[in-house]
């Protein structure tokens, strides 16, 4: 590392916090009941997704028409649907779809939103105005209605549904990152870097963004469940996953005609959606307690 980099580098986490900070994280997490519940729930979902081939007793697309609409039993734990497919197996494989939705939707939304928000906050002026006014246009529409309109334009399908949800969500991250960048860009170490002749790109990437991403991490964790729900809702109205994909929203949609005669078809996928959303929400709230400087006291990234 050069002398210039040493002179302008912002304080690192190890410089600012005691060596026992990892113990403090463990202690905070251990005493945060909500975070522990969230970790357990999401760990279960991830476990089901990783070992779906072993856990599921049947193939997710296997049809046994003679066993259609069977109630929960020892053979079919969650019953069967109108085509005789084992509902438990389809729900287990559906965990893979839901986790894929959370990762891809939030990965795209946070990437686009963070880049545009960072540019808007750091450059300011006309660039800032243009990016923020475009974001305001997106904010003028409810997220779900905007996603529905985009999927209708792109065509039904799970991939298009995920793309539409990501497009609907990027403005919130753009605003969040912009605000964080505005708070960081005039700090002492950024001014020192600018005075030593560092380029704007280097200052933004090396010194500003790493110290402005904590709110994004927290928000993305809490939005993971919302992204799953939104995509499931699009599947429910016929704009998301197409048959025979074992997606929870699509399973609820296929069972809405059997609510009174086969209650288990829409009920169990709905329960798993609720569990997954609650897990991400609990984890997000726990991460806020751990990473928010105001809640940690004096420590700041």
3-class secondary structure for 252-265?
Answer: HHHHHHHCCCCCHH
- How does pLDDT run across 100-147, given as a tens digit for each residue? 999 999 999 999 999 999 888 888 889 989 999 999 999 888 888 999
Domain range enclosing 124: 48-296
CATH number of the domain that residue 100 is part of: 1.10.3720.10
The answer to whether residue 7 scores a pLDDT higher than 70 is no
* Number of structural domains the chain divides into: 1
Question: Residue 216 — very low, low, confident or very high, per pLDDT cuts 50/70/90?
Answer: confident
Domain-embedded: residue 76: yes
Domain-embedded: residue 29: no
Q: pTM of this prediction?
A: 0.80
Tokens of 97: 């779809």
What does the pLDDT read at residue 218? 85
Average pLDDT over residues 1-5: 45
User: What mean pLDDT value characterizes the chain?
Assistant: 83
Domain-embedded: residue 166: yes
Domain-embedded: residue 236: yes
- How does pLDDT run across 31-52, given as a tens digit for each residue? 677 788 889 999 999 999 999 9
Query: What stretches of 66-210 show up as alpha helix (H) in DSSP?
Result: 87-123, 125-139, 143-154, 158-184, 188-195, 200-202
Domain-embedded: residue 25: no
The answer to whether residue 12 scores a pLDDT higher than 70 is no
Domain-embedded: residue 37: no
Domain-embedded: residue 4: no
Is the distance from CB of 255 to CB of 266 less than 8 angstroms? yes
Domain-embedded: residue 11: no
């Amino acid at each position: 590392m050069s002398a210039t980099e040493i002179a302008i580098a912002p304080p690192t986490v190890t410089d600012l916090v005691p060596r026992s900070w990892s113990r403090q994280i463990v202690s905070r997490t251990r005493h945060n009941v909500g975070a522990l519940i969230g970790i357990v729930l999401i760990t279960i979902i991830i476990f089901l997704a990783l070992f779906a081939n072993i856990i599921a007793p049947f193939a997710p697309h296997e049809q046994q028409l003679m066993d259609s609409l069977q109630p929960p039993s020892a053979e079919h734990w969650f019953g069967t649907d109108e085509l005789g497919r084992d509902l438990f197996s389809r729900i287990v494989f559906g965990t893979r779809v839901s986790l894929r939705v959370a990762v891809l939707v939030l990965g795209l939304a946070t990437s686009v939103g963070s880049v545009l928000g960072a540019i808007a906050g750091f450059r300011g002026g006309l660039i800032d105005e243009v990016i923020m006014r475009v974001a305001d246009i997106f904010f003028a529409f409810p997220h779900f209605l905007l996603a529905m309109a985009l999927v209708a334009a792109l065509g039904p399908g799970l991939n298009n549904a995920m793309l539409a949800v990501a497009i609907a969500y990027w403005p919130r991250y753009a605003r969040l990152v912009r605000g964080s960048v505005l708070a960081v860009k005039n700090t002492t170490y950024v001014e020192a870097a600018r005075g030593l002749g560092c380029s704007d790109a280097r200052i933004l990437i090396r010194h500003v963004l790493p110290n402005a991403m904590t709110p994004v991490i927290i928000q993305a964790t809490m939005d993971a469940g919302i992204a799953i729900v939104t995509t499931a809702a699009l599947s429910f109205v016929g704009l998301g996953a197409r048959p025979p994909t074992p997606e929870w929203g699509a399973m609820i949609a296929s069972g809405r005609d059997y609510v009174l005669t086969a209650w288990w078809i829409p009920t169990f996928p709905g329960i798993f959606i609720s569990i997954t959303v609650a897990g991400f929400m609990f984890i997000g709230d726990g991460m806020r307690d751990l990473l928010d400087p105001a809640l940690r006291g004096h420590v700041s990234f």
